[in-house]
Amino acid sequence: MPKVTIDGIEIEVPNGTTILEAARMIGGDIVPPTMCYYSKLKTSGGYCRTCLVRVSKGSEKDPRPMPKPVASCRTSVMDGMEVQNLTSPEILEARAGVVEMLLLNHPLDCPVCDQAGECHLQDLAYEHGKAETRYEFPRREFEKRDIGDKIQLHMTRCILCYRCVKTADQVTDGRVHGVCNRGEVAEISTYIENAIDNDFSGNVIDVCPVGALTDKTFRFNSRVWFTKPVDAHRDCPTCSGKVRLWYKGDEVARVTARKDKWGEVEEWICNSCRFDHKKTSDWVIEGPSKIDRHSVISANHYQSLKALKSTIDRQRGALPHGEKTALGDGALNPNNEEK
Ligand code: SF4
Ligand code: FES
């Protein structure tokens, strides 16, 4: 069992664990953000670079630091490895750069986007982004493509994380969509329309970290923070039938899979549960959903990056005398500490 230290916190993990998974085992704000990694999808990760960390000590055997930031979702821990995330100014700077790059072509249409309030890019931009842009060129534009009556594709919002491609590949049968072209003109599929005609295709909505794939049956129906999430189940012949109902008043406005605290679905659900069962009488209600993440749905407002008290306390001890954390004095402000 290798031991790894992340932002001053040591943990023992099974062989083959990635730095990201080790950080998730520790939990809290030291966990690097992810836009493309998805624990339920094989071979996900490695595309977006938001999970970059600094490996300041490679291992007990070879203590040399890694020469440049590494993607924590794709790098396995070694015994004695030391990793910096929040405690590295270099990483916070690099992440700000990644956010800036992701936003180069992403339209700032949050006020009209259905994903607002549960968009991981929005969270990332609030936590690590800058208020201004240096980009002076027109943003990418695409021909509008209709992919059916249930799923809305907004290619301009896509950040090419490949999650929907892997979902189509691994959850539906007979994948016929993928990422075509490269660089500035890359886009998902010419054949996504075909992948959509499948019992489990609606899951691409849930895995999309931004508003590129949204639920047409919920479109412009409500801001997500005006809806109330409730866990419910039904006896479904196709999937587990365990879902989250989003109530607007007494009406079920939409049905999604349940997501864990990392914003990843717990179990894939079928299209029939998602699109065809929108009456309370279709479901056995279990109770209000727990929204774990730093979500606008539960918090009702966004907060800037916070450092866990425990992280800071340990880091204070771990750093040489007089040296400050990457977060500076503001992070040590009691108002910023975890309640
Ligand atoms: S549509 Fe969404 S899930 Fe698919 S690649 Fe683009 S951002 Fe990722
Ligand atoms: S989450 Fe690791 S590269 Fe995207």
Residue 296: predicted pLDDT: 64
Cα of 205 to ligand 1 centre, how many Å? Answer: 9
Residue 334: predicted pLDDT: 33
Distances (CA, A) of 297 to 141, 224, 232, 254, 291: 31, 7, 18, 15, 7
Residue 131: predicted pLDDT: 78
Residue 292: predicted pLDDT: 63
Cα of 155 to ligand 2 centre, how many Å? Answer: 20
Question: Could you say which ligand is closest to the alpha carbon of residue 163?
Answer: 1
Which residue from 188, 190, 191 has its CB within 8 A of the most atoms of ligand 1, so it is best to mutate? Answer: 188
288-311 pLDDT, tens digit per residue, is 988 765 566 655 434 444 555 555
Cα of 272 to ligand 2 centre, how many Å? Answer: 31
Residue 175: predicted pLDDT: 59
Q: How confident is the model at residue 114 (pLDDT cuts 50, 70, 90)?
A: very high
15-63 pLDDT, tens digit per residue, is 999 999 999 999 888 999 999 999 999 999 999 999 999 999 999 999 9
Say yes or no: CB of residue 188 within 6 Å of ligand 1: yes
Say yes or no: CB of residue 210 within 6 Å of ligand 1: yes
Which residue from 37, 40, 43, 101 has its CB within 8 A of the most atoms of ligand 2, so it is best to mutate? Answer: 37
80-94 pLDDT, tens digit per residue, is 999 999 999 999 999
List beta partners, residue 248.
Answer: 251
d(CA 339, CA 335): 9
